[in-house]
Amino acid sequence: MATETAVDVVMPQMGVSVSEGTITRWLKQEGEQVESDEPLLEISTDKVDTEVPSPASGTLTQILVQEGETVDVGTKLGQIGGAAAETPAPAAEPEPQAPAAEEPEPAAPTPTAAPEPSAAPPPASGPAPSGNGKAFVSPVVARIAGEHGIDPSQVPGTGTGGRVTKKDILAFVESSGAQQQQPPQAEPEAPTPPAPAPPAQAQPEAPPTPPKPKPAAPAPVAAGETLPGETVEPMTAMRRGIAEHMRRSLDTAAHVTSAIEVDFSRIVAVREQLKKDYQAAYGINPTYLAFVAKASVETLRDYPYVNAEMRGDSIVTHNFVNLGIAVELAEGKGLIVPVLRNAEGLNLLGLARGIAEIAAKARNKQLVPDDVQGGTFTITNPGGYGTFHGTPVISQPQSAILGTYALVKRPWVVEDELGQDVIAIRPLMNITLTYDHRLVDGALAGRFLRDLRGRLEGWEGDGE
């Protein structure tokens, strides 16, 4: 078993913006056989939950990262084949074989070709702690030590084999010993206010304190503390990912939003016609979103900066459109942006079908990492609930995001055939373009929206 070539299992790169992943479940245990490409473990990143296939056939000899732990992309998670984890590391012995080397100078024990010690080398020296020696820290002692920032090894132990008992550490906390230690480590958990501000909690009523430059902001509640009426739930990997991405996007791009009103009369008429045909022939619903997507993709051809990204000191444009579609997961569970690749090659039917497919995949958690990577432009449709305007956040590293809103009938001034102004009832949609003003100028955005409106109002694509 120890003779197989070792193959590392690493945290895969799940998307350009994804830097870490959480192990949700190992599907194999140490010592179990696994086939190449057989699902080995399940991971959760800020965008997708997925299975990781085994990179090789063999025995899962080591699990280095346990379930529930979050690690960076590329971190070694385990090992297929090679030496089993339980193989006693040779270093545990007081190096009996070291002198065996013929080198004349024993002073420098260069472990040139020494067998690779397993990932976690055993304690360098001293006998391995057996039984309940001082090295063992019980859960309650570990907790108290953590709360008070105490190193348990500094506490005199009275338990079996010198173990530090709960009583020992409580006595240590009560005695001055604790104060000698460095400031409690637990404190930084409380969100620290910006540097110059005084420590948050210290001053409810402390009149003798000299007046601070600013009155202390209301003390933030320390992490882990719950006030009456509050409910605390852990954040999912997806929510953490969304939070990080939203913040990073706003910190990166100069967000500006422009809006335009589009008369959808023609689209509504065309769609009425197409709906029956598409439903009957393909089982596909030509949604307004599909029309907007088609017009956007065409318009992007004339505005490469709207379909671009800033990469370091360069501006990178694309001769393709990988169209991201924001999809809300059930019950506010999060938002995911699956990508429809090469949307520039799709007609209205293809777009409608593609959008329906990726949305279904997203809702059924069937997306694979490639489905959420590589977007160049995104459309979000928050109008489903009737909103008529919004300022979406750009999906980094793209340069713009288009928002579509509720289609409503409004009184609208149009020209009749005699050139007279008349008020007509027209179905109107507000469409916004939120763009990164570092790259896209306001006038450019305006022209983009104008052209988009032109394409939609004078629809000449499919169905005409």
Partner 1 sequence: MAELTYLQAISDGLRTEMRRDKRVFLIGEDVGVYGGAFKVSLGFQEEFGPWRVIDAPLAEAAIVGGCTGAAIMGLRPVAEMQFADFISCAWDQLVTVAAKQRWRAGTPVPMVVRLPSGGGFSGGPFHSQNPESSFAHIPGLKCVCPATPEDAKGLLISAIEDPNPVLYFEHKHLYRRIKGEVPEERYTTPIGKARIHRQGDDVSVITWGAMVYTADEAAQQLDSDGVSVEIVDLRTVMPWDKAAVLESVRKTSKVLVLHEDTRSGGFGGEIAATIAEEAFEDLDAPVKRLAAPDTPVPFSPVLEKAYIPQVEDVAAGLRELAEY
Q: Which residues are catalytic?
A: 437, 441
Query: What span, in angstroms and rounded, lies between the C-alpha atoms of 229 and 310?
Result: 46
The residue written with tokens 């799709």 in the block is 346
The count of chain residues that interact with partner 1, using the rule CB under 8 A, is 12
223 binds partner 1 (CB under 8 A): no
Shortest spacing between CB 140 and partner 1, in angstroms: 5
- Rule CB under 8 A: which of 33-52 touch partner 1? none
Query: Percentage helix, strand, coil, to 5, in the chain?
Result: 30, 20, 50
- Rule CB under 8 A: which of 304-323 touch partner 1? none
Shortest spacing between CB 160 and partner 1, in angstroms: 6
Shortest spacing between CB 129 and partner 1, in angstroms: 16
Fill in the per-residue mask, 108 to 147: x = in contact with partner 1 (CB under 8 A), - = not in contact: ------------------------x-----xxxxxx----
CB count, 10 Å around CB of 142? 13
Shortest spacing between CB 64 and partner 1, in angstroms: 23
The residue written with tokens 């509050």 in the block is 230
- Rule CB under 8 A: which of 152-181 touch partner 1? 159-160, 163, 165-166
Whole-number Cα distances in Å, 302 to 299, 307, 318, 409, 438:
6, 10, 12, 30, 19
**Closest C-alpha among 116, 108, 24, 30 to residue 70:** 24
Please say which residue, 58 or 157, places its beta carbon nearer to partner 1.
157
Shortest spacing between CB 131 and partner 1, in angstroms: 11
Please say which residue, 131 or 332, places its beta carbon nearer to partner 1.
131
CA torsion sign for 417, 261, 273, 339 is: positive
Please say which residue, 100 or 232, places its beta carbon nearer to partner 1.
232
**Closest C-alpha among 47, 51, 52 to residue 17:** 47
Count of alpha carbons within 13 angstroms of residue 207, beta-carbon side: 0
Query: What span, in angstroms and rounded, lies between the C-alpha atoms of 308 and 315?
Result: 7
Please say which residue, 160 or 273, places its beta carbon nearer to partner 1.
160
Residues 6+ positions from 21 with CB-CB distance below 8 Å:
11, 12, 14, 43, 44, 45, 70, 71, 73, 237
Please say which residue, 163 or 341, places its beta carbon nearer to partner 1.
163
The residue written with tokens 């029309």 in the block is 291
Shortest spacing between CB 154 and partner 1, in angstroms: 18
Please say which residue, 140 or 202, places its beta carbon nearer to partner 1.
140
Query: What span, in angstroms and rounded, lies between the C-alpha atoms of 150 and 200?
Result: 22
- Asked if residues 73 and 14 have their Cβ atoms less than 8 Å apart, the reply is yes
Residues that bind partner 1 (CB under 8 A): 132, 138-143, 159-160, 163, 165-166
